[in-house]
């Protein structure tokens, strides 16, 4: 298992995106993902998630199947909201590709280096980020 808490790059956008996706996955599944990597280029952000393929069909003690597949669909919008709230970074969700058999999900975003004044350096908890984003953003549009 890889240590996903250690920053993998010198790119603060990629590092923040990795941390956000790790927190989302932990919230949904109750455990850390196997690995998270993010790659940021001028106008693109890719986040790769390695997870246990059993998570896609895992049945909890309550007899309910974990809905990881449905959570994956919602994650791009939540990641975009958290990046804007935490770092003032605007990204537009793009494609999502999931290979359940291999335990791999790839989230693509179109990115910019734009930051909001007053947000620089301010890091919020994940819950605070979502609350702030929900109160201050217009309705989220997911690009396909």
The overall average pLDDT reported for the chain is 76
Identify whether 7 is part of a domain: no
Report CA torsion sign: 109, 105, 135, 5: negative
What's the CATH code of the domain at 120?
3.30.980
Is 50 exceeded by the pLDDT of residue 140?
Answer: no
What was the pLDDT predicted at 139?
A: 43
What was the pLDDT predicted at 70?
A: 81
Average pLDDT of 43-51? Answer: 94
Identify whether 40 is part of a domain: yes
What was the pLDDT predicted at 58?
A: 58
Give 104-136 pLDDT, tens digit per residue: 999 999 975 444 444 444 444 444 544 555 554
Q: In terms of residue numbers, what domain contains 27? A: 12-133
Identify whether 144 is part of a domain: no
Three-state SS at 7? coil
**Which residues have CB under 8 Å from 74's CB, separation 6+?**
none
pTM: 0.67
Identify whether 4 is part of a domain: no
């Amino acid at each position: 298992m890889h240590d996903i808490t250690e920053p993998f790059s010198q790119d603060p956008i990629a590092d923040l995106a990795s941390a956000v996706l790790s927190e989302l996955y932990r919230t949904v599944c109750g455990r850390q993902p196997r690995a998270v990597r993010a790659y940021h280029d001028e106008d693109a952000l890719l986040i790769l998630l390695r997870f246990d393929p059993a998570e896609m069909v895992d049945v909890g003690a309550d007899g309910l199947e974990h809905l990881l597949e449905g959570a994956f669909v919602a994650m791009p919008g939540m990641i975009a909201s958290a990046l804007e709230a935490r770092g003032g970074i605007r990204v537009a969700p793009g494609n999502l590709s999931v290979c359940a058999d291999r335990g791999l999900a790839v989230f693509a975003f179109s990115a910019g280096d734009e930051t909001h004044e007053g947000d620089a350096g301010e890091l919020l908890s994940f819950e605070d980020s979502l609350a702030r984003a929900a109160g201050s953003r217009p309705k989220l549009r997911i690009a396909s």
